[in-house]
Structure 1
Amino acid sequence: MSYTLHEVDSLARHRQFLAVPQRLHGHHPQYIGPLDNEIEVVFDPRKNPNLATGEAIRWVLLDAEGIAVGRVAAFLNREAVDVKNPDLPTGGLGFFEAPNDPVAARHLFDTGRAWLAARGMQAMDGPINFGERDRFWGALIDGFEWEPNYGMFWHPPYYQQLFEDYGFQVYFRQYTCARPVLTELHPSFAQRLAKFEADPRYRFDYGRKANPEKLAQDFHHVYNLAWGRHAGVKPMNLDQARALVREMKPVLDERLLAFAYCDDEPVAFFLSLPELNQIFKHVGRRLDLLGKVRFLWQQWRYGRRRDKKMLGIIYGVVPAHQGTGLDSALILDAQKRFISGGYTDIEMNWIGDFNPRMLVTTRSIGAKVRKTHATYRFLFDRDRPFERSPIIR
């Protein structure tokens, strides 16, 4: 098979880029594609702040008949590269899609590699997103029988071989863990909850959509203390937190926004969403006017079900309260609201193998790995020793 590669530099190429995943995977019953709108945001300088200091480029791969059968994007942010690893400037490769043909994959990988090398990069990570790690990150390498969660790609099994045969090595694995909501927790959870409920300084509550300012402030406070200092995670300012609450407000279920307070200071959270792909799979690729109408209808229908799936987005405890058992108490307190809301299954946002403490916490609530993605790294100097992502201590 012969292929030609074309930069996305026109409306026609843009449409081809967006249509590739559906053409390749639409016949698989587990496949749920991303919204076109959310892919477009990544490459829009008005909406992706990374483009203020970085570059991004896209290509589509056409077969001999002129049909788009593959795609890839490459991107770099020089400011982030220099801070992250000054001895190994690393660019990104993302939105990779290809047929089961190493020749096609090589076209895409070679092109991204050459573009990044010409800009001083010495390695490339992929498949990743030009933004935060919360979506479009990693290649699915296990759990193909499950539908993808919102913000994650479904890939066929051969993608792993395409990456690894080219020379990519696993930089870190990403585990999506799951459990039935009704899973009985260890008796120690109840003991810890009783301890904190008996202490008048502590209370457990949930976020209110009617008070978005407080929700944003509480989220911002816990997030920055619990996560803002971790490698690969940027601290968040209050305006960003407000914007996030504003953006997510239409899909929030208050019962899934669990907070713990000590002397009215927010000190822990466990925040989840209804699993949006269970709604979007009935909507289509575009969230235009018709798509929004379909979404509202499907959201209403989903909200009335008693067998809903939820997605655990983020969990955190401020350092001063870590190791006290507050996390266990919060989870047990929140479980009651999850059940009353009709949620029967929970999957957690992916946890990297570089975060063993979080994986231990996840196992402690009876969750098991359901899906595994991999973030790969390719070193341009093939004689350079490869190093995995550092472990969070």
Structure 2
Amino acid sequence: MHIITVNGKKTVNAFHELPYFIYGDDPNWVPPMRMMVESIFDPLRNNSLISGDVCRWLLMDHGKVIGRIAAFCVPSYANSFDQPTGGIGFFECINNQVAANQLFDTACAWLKGLGMEAADGPINIGENFFNWGLLVNGFVQQSFGMPYNPPYYRSLFETYGFKTYYEQYSYYLNITSPDLPERFWKIAAWTAKKPGYRFESFLFSEKERFIQDFIDIYEQAWSKHDNYKKIEPEDIHAMLSQSKMLIEEDFIWFVYHEDKPIAFFMMIPDMNQLFKYFRNGKLNLLKILKLLYLKKKKVVNRCRVLVMGVIPKFQKSGIESAIFYQLRQVLLRKDWYNEMELSWVGDFNPKMISIFKAVGGKQTKTHLTMRYLFDRQKEFKRSPIIED
């Protein structure tokens, strides 16, 4: 077995073709759209790589690709922890520990060369909405952006020495169901009508204002936490541009108190319900038109909550429930949406977990963000809990 670097059209193609060998006919696996994956590795489309670096490798055995991995170093992430920490992701491998070890060794050696002292994985380059975490429970078709992998991957990571830095939970909810907790919705309706508060759904025609409001709320809500990563306006612009086909404006909500932004909520349709019909992961004009047609025909009946944030001053005011109240009115109008996934919330965030449970969510899936310390004698610490 030997490692080669992904550095040209042939190796890029091999990088994308390997998962088809790993997953075969697994009906739960939905091939990610190739152009979306490639945009992650493109400095012109991924703002995180302007100051960061990335490298990809393939593992070969007798002329056949049997594994792949990417490693990346982004200063805004690396400098957020006790030790400089890089990332690994897009890992795929046959069920062979020797093969996995060679991939991990290669990625970790590259990160060490950049001054890193630890590796987190499997994670994404940049924001954590997509391609983040190792699936360990809930081996069903994942919603758009949530990773899927064979069960044996956990053993490959843990045997090498990765440990769980935090767990990521996803919850299922039918927000239109009459069986949801009545008390919650009464409080939600009351809070939503309190004077001084204003609720607005996102509009592309006013995206500059909403992007700035998003950043203001995000920084106040997360800047003091260990998992905080600064978001630049360009990051949001890029995500909106790449995801415009996915976004429904009234799935994104902002809350204002006396005209100041205090909370946001973002949800997208689960496009994996459409992408599963395109097994080669490639899009062309004809397929895009077909996707738009299927979306218009209301084939998609599931949506995924990407992120929710409330500034500290209002985190005990019931604003979270009021946002769900506004969203419920939207989904009662769009009644073809009957499934919602609240994903993901880390075990370091008990307040958000309690909200997901209070609204009637049922935990259905678990992913792990794992960490490998290069100094094997250093004490391992899990992600700290967000305190009140």
TM-score, normalised to structure 1's length? 0.89
| Cα distance change of structure 1 residues 385 and 267 upon mapping to structure 2, 3 Å threshold | closer
- In structure 2, do the counterparts of structure 1 residues 172 and 267 end up closer, same or farther at CA, with 3 Å as the change threshold? same
Aligned in 2, Cα 1:296/1:216: closer, same or farther, shift over 3 Å? farther
- Quote the offset at 1:37 in angstroms: 1.4
Task: Give the match for residue 391 of structure 1.
Answer: 385
Q: State yes or no: 1:124 paired with 2:119.
A: yes
Q: Is the 8 A contact 1:33 1:153 kept in 2?
A: no
Cα displacement string for residues 281-300 of structure 1 (whole angstroms, at most 9, x for unaligned residues):
22345554x2x432332233
* CA–CA separation in structure 2 for the residues paired with 1:376 and 1:186: 35
**Alignment match, 2:309:** 316
* Contact 1:216 1:245 (C-alpha < 8 Å) held by counterparts: no
Partner of 1:20: 18
Q: For 2:214 and 2:162, how far apart are their aligned partners in 1?
A: 37
Q: 2:352 corresponds to which letter in structure 1?
A: M
Relative to structure 1, is the Cα distance of residues 366 and 73 closer, same or farther in structure 2, using a 3 angstrom cutoff? same
Unaligned runs of at least 5 residues, structure 2: none
Q: Are the aligned partners of 1:126 and 1:377 in contact in 2 as well (CA < 8 Å)?
A: yes
Please name the residue that 2:261 is paired with.
Answer: 266
Aligned to 1:48: 46
Q: Tell whether the 8 Å contact from 1:209 to 1:249 is kept in structure 2 after alignment.
A: no
Indicate if the aligned counterparts of 1:306 and 1:343 stay in contact, CA closer than 8 A: no
Gap change, CA 1:279 and 1:229, over 3 Å in 2: farther
Aligned to 1:84: 80
The residue type paired with residue 296 of structure 1 is: L
Give 1:255 shift: 3.0
Q: 2:286 matched to 1:293? A: yes
Contact 1:35/1:284 (<8 A) preserved? no
**How much has 1:62 moved relative to structure 2?**
1.7
What does residue 376 of structure 2 align with? Answer: 382
Q: 2:64 matched to 1:67?
A: yes
**CA offset at residue 262 of structure 1?**
2.8
Q: CA deviation at 1:127?
A: 1.3
The C-alpha deviation readout for 1:151-179, integer Å capped at 9, x for no partner, is 22210100011111111111111111111
Quick check: 1:111 aligned with 2:109? no
Superposition deviation, residue 314 in structure 1:
1.4
- Superposed counterparts of 1:345-360, under 5 Å: 345-360=339-354
Determine if contact 1:228/1:236 at 8 Å carries over to the other structure: no
Q: Is the 8 A contact 2:274 2:300 kept in 1?
A: no
The amino acid of 2:138's aligned partner reads: G
1:134-283 mapped onto 2 (5 Å cutoff): 134-144=129-139, 146-183=140-177, 184-196=179-191, 198-238=193-233, 240-283=235-278
Measured after TM superposition, the shift of residue 210 of structure 1 is 4.3
Q: Aligned pair in 2 of structure 1 residues 88, 265: CA closer, same or farther (>3 Å)?
A: closer
SS across alignment from 2:244: helix
Aligned equivalents of 1:271 and 1:343: distance in 2? 16
Give the letter for the 1:282 counterpart: Y
Q: Which runs of 5+ in 1 are unaligned?
A: none
Aligned to 1:302: 295
Q: Which amino acid aligns with 1:76?
A: C
Aligned length: 385
Cα distance change of structure 1 residues 119 and 227 upon mapping to structure 2, 3 Å threshold? closer
Taking a change above 3 Å as real, the CA distance of residues 135 and 239 of structure 1, as seen in their structure-2 partners, is closer
Instruction: Give the superposition deviation at 1:303.
Output: 3.6
Alignment of 1:28-47 (within 5 A): 28-47=26-45
Query: For 1:230 and 1:385, how far apart are their aligned partners in 2?
Result: 20
3-state SS of the aligned residue for 1:230? coil
Distance 1:239 1:380, change over 3 A: closer
Q: List per-residue Cα deviations over 1:314-340 (Å, max 9, x = no partner).
A: 112233322111221221232121132
Letter of the aligned partner of 1:95 in structure 2? F
- The DSSP-based 3-state class of the residue aligned with 1:150 is coil
Question: 1:230-272: CA deviations, max 9, x gaps?
Answer: 3333344445444544443332223322333333433322221
1:194 shift after superposition:
4.2
Structure 2 CA distance for partners of 1:299 and 1:322, relative to 1, 3 Å: same
Q: 1: CA distance between counterparts of 2:233 and 2:157? A: 39
Classify 1:328/1:50 alpha carbon distance in 2 versus 1 (closer, same or farther; 3 Å). closer
Structure 1: how far apart are the matches of 2:48 and 2:257? Answer: 36
What is the CA–CA distance in structure 2 between the aligned matches of 1:324 and 1:380, rounded to whole Å? 43
Report the alpha carbon displacement of residue 186 of structure 1 after superposing the two structures with TM.
2.6
Contact preservation (8 Å) 1:226, 1:319 = yes
TM-score if structure 2 supplies the norm length? 0.90
CA RMSD across the alignment: 2.4
Retained in 2: the 8 A contact 1:34–1:153? no
- Work out whether residues 189 and 332 of structure 1, in 8 Å CA contact, stay in contact via their aligned partners in 2: no
Per-residue deviation, 1:75: 1.9
Name which of 308, 324, 328 aligns with 2:321: 328
Q: CA separation in 1, counterparts of 2:2 and 2:367?
A: 29
- Aligned-partner Cα distance in 2 for 1:332–1:377: 37
Percentage of identical aligned residues: 36
Q: Which moved more, 1:48-57 or 1:157-166?
A: 48-57
